[in-house]
Amino acid sequence: MVRNVNGYTLRLKYTFQQLDKGVKRTKSTRTSFDITSSSTALTGSVLASSVNSGTKQVGAILPSVGVTLVPVKEAVAPQKVTEQNQASLIRSSIKRLDFMLQDNALLGERDPDIAKKTAKLKDELKQVQVQLIDIPLEMTSNMTEEELNNYFNSPKVNKKYRTKK
């Protein structure tokens, strides 16, 4: 049962990594659009106060160029709210499964509660699988288990997906 939970957790970690990568890429693109749009509007405001009439005309046009970049940003890089929520759900499920593994670890070869602990792990695994049924899990991975664990437990990722109280 522990091997089943660990295998499923590894697939979840890879799926989490793929979702997080997509969210990061979109966030970076959106930030680039925001910076370009605001710098264009600011440049237009500065040029509009110029003494030269040609520069004033350019300054009058540039703020509207900055404003038109907003719909382009939404079309090119729409917000990935669903993916962000899925990544958070996967992360909390992984943490829950890890906790259940630790909580239901066998005390020895002759643990009297082995049946109860195994049943608890099975129930928890089924519950997580039902909860994540809509999320397509990645089947192939070009990363080792150690690389996935290092990525999943990195301080940057922990900060980004910290559970709010």
Whether residue 85 is contained in a domain is answered as yes
**Angle, alpha carbons 39-45-51 (nearest 5°):** 130
Is residue 104, in this structure, part of any structural domain at all? Answer: yes
DSSP 26-64: HHHHHHHHHHHHHHHHHHHHHHHT-SSHHHHHHHHHHHH
Task: Count how many domains the chain has.
Answer: 1
On whether the CB atoms of residues 140 and 19 are closer than 8 A, the answer is no
Mean pLDDT by groups of 10 residues along the chain of 165 residues? 83 84 86 89 86 85 83 83 86 89 76 81 87 70 73 79 66
Domain that holds residue 105: 2-160
CA-to-CA distance for 4 and 122, rounded, in angstroms?
9
Q: What is the pLDDT of residue 20?
A: 85
pLDDT at 113 (0 to 100):
79
Distance CA 124, CA 114 (A): 15
**pLDDT score recorded for residue 143:** 67
pLDDT at 64: 85
Q: pLDDT at position 16, please?
A: 85
Per the confidence metrics, is the pTM higher than 0.85? no
CB-based contact 40:64 (threshold 8 Å): no
Give a yes or no: residue 165 inside a domain: no
